[in-house]
Structure 1
């Protein structure tokens, strides 16, 4: 029981009134409880099994929420399946987050899940502000007691709370920022929700460099000290310092709208001539920044890199004839084309690229005679795996050295290749100009950080052929439909990545228009041009 609480007995019911905190009332009706602590309960009772029924679910949820709202962390924790972990977080709701009033209202149970709304008041250093949000809990059967209990997860306290994280209210650890795009337009979380984690990271890293001052806020403090705090409520604004980014507000707005069409989608746009990141968007928009931190096989979009390597080594030319049979084998692995299509023997390498013929690429690995060649191309030309310092946390891709069938799978973006939308957008940008420019979201001049540099560029001849092959893909190949609405000098490459245990492949697409490159992935989206293609096209139409 919290300090200052008063207890009264009213008609056989203990009523707890949390003195001084203004919390709601928590009631516990004694007698007939499972523990049999009071009354003539039997000395032993059968332990119940199976999922909790509706009555148990509603009663347990209400008891827990009432106890939490009253400020009685101990009583609330007793109604969970992890009392020792739950109690400190529940107590911290008042002690560390400084919630002084709380009304928590359960909704209708759906099975064993109960949604609820929290309407609270946060007070700190003379500043007070209302705070409301929604979350849900799940009621489960206790493994040993058979009691209905709340399945304890940090998200029970707040939907964005993760393992090891905590809620805090106080003076913010870093100064407020006003982030602006490359034209000076203000970028905020409300207008551009995908930028939420990015703006938090930028504030944490650069807030003290912008001349701003901290405010009073409620935030989530993550377990990992390398991750930024996530601001949930501002009680008093600090003086924001202006932070210049490389983003483009128009491209960002288009990206935000485009990814909302799908339940799992990411897109990034990069300027080939400079490496400036123009847009980053994810759906869902909060939490993990999959567009810059994801790690997945990118499918045939990686054929841009494989084609560059084959062109550099002289094993193909854009207009030279290339085999595209129904299947091709390398050591223990056999590879097929979509629906087992094949092309006439006289077909050019451009046709195989534009039609996304897998076997045309696989059959060349014998001629290359170096299973590690693609990994070298990735590092030396495209800057993959060189520790990018974009300005926020990002993953710079991976093409590990491999042998035999795994090496062959890499040629078509499968196997051990790991990429995200940022990496593929950068690969497209490098192909566009022939030279790798490490992507950045804030100018290097802000902190003089060391940017990654590739050891060599593509020749003008190879760069020209790559651009021509991507133009063909956009004008009459697999990217035609998606790129039809895009103007300027344009090119594209589609990709579908098969994932173990996933019924439908992930949809990948990348393209360029003049001096803008973009790449997108849609989880379980199928063919690259069907889902990811329109996302990329929308960003290319809007950006600059």
Structure 2
């Protein structure tokens, strides 16, 4: 019997939507398949007398769980098969995104075990964060290795053989919504908008509501409510909400995802370059988790736009400079190019168009540890608070902890996090020189503060992206009319999962970004999606 039953609500959440939170959590596995610590934090003072191997195993378990590496987390326990099943059911059944697990001061327990208390902050997709405390027992095995002593209560103290958790959702009121020209938008005709429409102000909707309940496994009776989310809806105002969306672009985006992703999880955002207004926001599967604006993905080589901008801003490299592109480069771990390609004696322009990881990593010494993040925030607005008109995740570019992580950050891996909304905005900023806060409704508060890119850097970035279409990895767009520029990306997830595929592009006054989970390559997975979209809407929106 599964550990957690499906959610019940006025409208049942599709199983594919429930799986979305796991997919997004999994993409947080860091740095080209390597293992990096999630933000579990250091153990408090007083742990010096405990075996460091025990503490390391506890920390690694929490890190793997937080990052979505559930098979790895389970392998650190005394019951890997059962642990993997329970952790997976807990994540999917309760629609949990990226957990934050913070360890407290450990203590020695009975029989020489080590007990590690921790605080769990579990974001329930579309509702809020469920916070609770539990304890992690770690015990030395007969072979001398420390392992997490598996039991249901370590996941949550009230989880047991007779009690499970259950997610209940309540359907909010949906306001009347129109596109930028007043055309009515419906979740029936445009399924990707279903989770978005209820989040828009003006229709009397207070957003989604729900609760996590403790349920008797045998009878299904609710024993208690563990967490409640949302507020009661206000009375409808009767006024339609006018958005920046374009019905034609939205329809084309949804059709492109449906036709070209092969059923994989994917997301796409298209926005105006001159003002950041969102024209289309689509997801596959269409309903459920809005990964287009809430996803937390490693952006892979699409991030080389920001890396290149940072290098060009300080004249650390020029497009014609020779920057060798070998098959492999070792910086604490071995990095390689897609399909272990190499381009000996390549220029930086060639490195960009062929997306050479090793060339970009070789330039890491020309940047300070904070410079990539500073550029992302100062010029591209990434990591600042955005007021889009609906909930959004606005990116993170942490300062690397070591040279290996710095190398990974140069190619959009490590602890870097973005989503299609962020990368569409990055593309728009790169080719216009000015950041505009993305928006789906007009008149939103704007607290961002950015600096324009110098015209010389803008010209260089446009040249690099245009060459990627004419002579590089984005040739899938080369037969379309217009001076299209683009950048592909292949983001490694983990040793067990296929790569995510990315592609960002611009044409005229529109910037587009698409990610396809487990798409393997950007040109092969996200490329056909964007090609279909741009072919379907050959002109800029009014």
Partner of 2:517: 523
Q: Structure 1 residue 165 and structure 2 residue 168: aligned?
A: yes
- 1:265-344 to 2 correspondences below 5 Å: 265-330=266-331, 332-344=332-344
Q: Structure 1 residue 463 and structure 2 residue 458: aligned?
A: yes
Cα gap change, 1:153 to 1:340, in 2 (>3 Å): closer
Alignment check: 8 A CA contact 2:176 2:203 kept: no
Give the SS at the match of 2:198. Answer: helix
Partner of 2:446: 450
Deviations 1:80-102 (CA, angstroms, capped at 9, x unpaired): 999xx99xx99xx9xxx7x9xxx
CA distance in 1, matches of 2:504, 2:433: 16
Alignment check: 8 A CA contact 1:337 1:358 kept: yes
Partner of 2:87: none
Alignment check: 8 A CA contact 2:316 2:366 kept: yes
CA distance in 2, matches of 1:442, 1:504: 36
**Per-residue deviation, 1:432:** 1.1
CA distance in 1, matches of 2:298, 2:527: 17
Higher relative contact order (CA 8 A, sep 6+): 2
Cα gap change, 1:225 to 1:278, in 2 (>3 Å): farther
Partner of 1:539: 533
From 222, 226, 232, give the equivalent of 2:210. Answer: 222
Unaligned runs of 5+ residues in structure 2 are 12-81, 83-89, 96-125, 128-164, 212-226
- 1:482-521 to 2 correspondences below 5 Å: 483-521=477-515
Cα gap change, 1:533 to 1:153, in 2 (>3 Å): closer
Alignment check: 8 A CA contact 1:201 1:228 kept: no
CA distance in 1, matches of 2:330, 2:504: 28
Deviations 1:82-125 (CA, angstroms, capped at 9, x unpaired): 9xx99xx99xx9xxx7x9xxxxxxxxxxxxxxxxxxxxxxxxxx
Partner of 1:184: 182
Give the SS at the match of 1:351. Answer: helix
Partner of 1:378: 376
Alignment check: 8 A CA contact 2:355 2:473 kept: yes
Cα gap change, 1:251 to 1:472, in 2 (>3 Å): same
CA distance in 2, matches of 1:81, 1:438: 42
**Per-residue deviation, 1:229:** 8.4
Alignment check: 8 A CA contact 2:487 2:504 kept: yes
Give the SS at the match of 1:417. Answer: coil
Give the SS at the match of 2:286. Answer: coil
Give the SS at the match of 1:335. Answer: strand
Alignment check: 8 A CA contact 1:200 1:229 kept: no
Asked which structure has the greater CA Rg, the reply is 1
**Per-residue deviation, 1:153:** 6.6
Alignment check: 8 A CA contact 2:178 2:243 kept: yes
Deviations 1:400-437 (CA, angstroms, capped at 9, x unpaired): 11131101101101111111111111111110101111
Partner of 2:24: none
TM-score scaled by length of structure 2 = 0.63
CA distance in 1, matches of 2:354, 2:3: 55
CA distance in 1, matches of 2:250, 2:230: 23
CA distance in 2, matches of 1:249, 1:390: 19
Partner of 1:437: 436
Partner of 2:348: 349
Cα gap change, 1:225 to 1:182, in 2 (>3 Å): farther
Cα gap change, 1:167 to 1:436, in 2 (>3 Å): closer
Cα gap change, 1:492 to 1:221, in 2 (>3 Å): same
Alignment check: 8 A CA contact 1:297 1:419 kept: yes
Could you tell which deviates more after superposition, 335-344 or 305-314? 335-344
Partner of 1:135: none
- Give the number of equivalent residue pairs: 373
Alignment check: 8 A CA contact 1:276 1:441 kept: yes
**Per-residue deviation, 1:344:** 3.2
CA distance in 2, matches of 1:371, 1:220: 41
**Per-residue deviation, 1:378:** 1.0
Alignment check: 8 A CA contact 1:505 1:523 kept: yes
